[in-house]
Amino acid sequence: MELSRALAKYSLDLSFEKIPDDVKMFTKLCILDYFGSAFAGSNKPPVQMISELINEMGGEKQATLLTGGRSSVLNAALVNGAASHIVELDDIHKASIIHAATVVIPAALAVAEWKKLSGEDLITAVVIGYEVCYRIGEAVSPSHYYYWHNTATCGTFGAAAAAAKLLDLNEEEFIYALGNAGTQAAGLWEFIEDGAMTKQLHPGKAAMNGVMAVLLAKKGFTGASKILEGNRGFFKAMSEEYNEGKITEALGEKYKIVENSFKIHASCRHTHHAVDLLIEMLHERETDPSEIESVIVRTYQAAIDITDNNDPQTQYASKFSLQFCSALALIKGSANLDDFNDSSLWNNETRQLMKKVSVVLDPEINAAYPEKWGAGIEVHYTNGDIVELKTDFPKGDPENPVSAKDLLEKYRNLARDLPEEKRERIAADILALESIGDMTDLLKDFSSSLLS
């Protein structure tokens, strides 16, 4: 069976009633986590620039912008996708290397609000969107990831699948939507060389393009039926090695969304393993940075490709520097959102400690990637002591989980600028999402909170 058809059949067959209760609850936590990150990112300059642009261009007032106001469904998907990625606290899936929330949820929210659909509809669509993009990401990773940002490329398919479910596309239309989503899949890693704002276009455009593909398919606009496996399709064009079997392996037998990881540090996920270990070390041994002679971080090649930067020049670039994040963890004992600022970036103690951090490839850890995002640290002290620690799973992975209570506190912290009563009401609504009959109720409340 064609792969797009298999994904379409799976998605059309899945109903809210078929989803186990624990998966529904997990999905609501993913949505809550999305809202926290989106709110925290909504006032950042790159997101405000995108929001200003779409307001200048105009659009039907169909869906809520988390930057304030309303615009078209496509514009809402764009802005709300960009907003949720910028603070680097959005969720991640190890095997596919995708931040699904930032593409799937804004696309689904915009459509669900526009069509006045229910919380049950939204939960079902999000489960499907995660399933589709994670499977496609697994099929092309890790080779695809060197040049291409999986969240942007594979995420486009997830946004399309979620929107297609909400708009009740038939099987052929669903296939068209995936075809037209895949041909729009883009997002190159070159932005990281400059710490450029481009990264925020990746999730925003993925969400927007996924919805556009569905709206066109609904009108009969055809798309490639073999966009994944075709001779000039996604797999062959954009990955050196791929595994088609990942698309249908146990499809419908398990739920990929529960493999999701949540972030507790406000930096690239490839830095979290080292940050975790260094904070763990500080809990066991109080350390003054002046006592450290050198730090060696052993990890996998992708982490080196993305985060081996010993001289970040901007706050955003510092989030993609293993050297900076390691030094920050040793000095602050944390890597929270508030820790990343110009004061930390240019602090002389931080800059000097960064020079003592080296990042090296560990063949054993590299061989286990991307199933395990592991690292080992060696901290060499000036008195000759050496501390060695290793982990396979950063905090927040399913194998090293955070609790629902932890995620609620994370949301509260990220949404701390909201009045407490409104912040708590929004969280309560999301955690009881299946009881909401019309998504405009939730989004109207959230929009008014931003504007108050």
What is the biggest distance separating any 2 CA atoms in the chain, rounded to whole angstroms?
72
Angle between helix axes 119-140 and 150-166 (nearest 10 degrees) is 140
Q: What type of residue sits at position 113? A: E
- Tokens representing 387? 């501390």
Q: What type of residue sits at position 219? A: K
Collapsing DSSP to helix, strand or coil, 71 comes out as: strand
- Contacts of residue 215, defined as CB under 8 A and 6 or more positions apart, other chains included, come to 73, 74, 163, 167
CA atoms of 90 and 113, how far apart (whole Å): 22
- Tokens representing 148? 């291409």
CB 297 within 8 A of CB 428: no
CA atoms of 17 and 11, how far apart (whole Å): 13
pLDDT per residue rounded down to tens, the chain (452 residues) = 899 999 999 999 999 999 999 999 999 999 999 999 999 999 999 999 999 999 999 999 999 999 999 999 999 999 999 999 999 999 999 999 999 999 999 999 999 999 999 999 999 999 999 999 999 999 999 999 999 999 999 999 999 999 999 999 999 999 999 999 999 999 999 998 888 999 999 999 999 999 999 999 999 999 999 999 999 999 999 999 999 999 999 999 999 999 999 999 999 999 999 999 999 999 999 999 999 999 999 999 999 999 999 999 999 899 999 999 999 999 999 999 999 999 999 999 999 999 999 999 999 999 999 999 999 999 999 999 999 999 999 999 999 999 999 999 999 999 998 889 989 999 999 999 999 999 998 887 665 545 44
Q: What is the DSSP letter of 44?
A: S
- Contacts of residue 114, defined as CB under 8 A and 6 or more positions apart, other chains included, come to 62, 63, 73
Domain locations along the chain: 3-264+408-451, 269-391
CA atoms of 289 and 445, how far apart (whole Å): 47
CB 369 within 8 A of CB 302: yes
CB 206 within 8 A of CB 151: yes
CA atoms of 81 and 347, how far apart (whole Å): 32
Say which CATH superfamily domain 269-391 falls into.
2-methylcitrate dehydratase PrpD (3.30.1330.120)
* pLDDT the model gives residue 451: 46
- Model pLDDT for residues 277-298, shown as the tens digit of each residue: 999 999 999 999 999 999 999 9
For the chain, counts of helices (H) and of strands (E): 21, 6
Enumerate the β-bridge partners of residue 93: 98
Enumerate the β-bridge partners of residue 296: 358, 378
Radius of gyration over every alpha carbon of the chain, rounded to an integer in angstroms = 21
Q: Which residue has the tokens 């609504």?
A: 429
CA atoms of 47 and 197, how far apart (whole Å): 9
* pLDDT the model gives residue 444: 77
CB 80 within 8 A of CB 38: yes
- Tokens representing 300? 């996998």
| Nearest alpha carbon to residue 370 among 452, 238, 276, 270 | 270
CATH topology of domain 3-264+408-451: 2-methylcitrate dehydratase PrpD (1.10.4100)
* pLDDT the model gives residue 193: 87
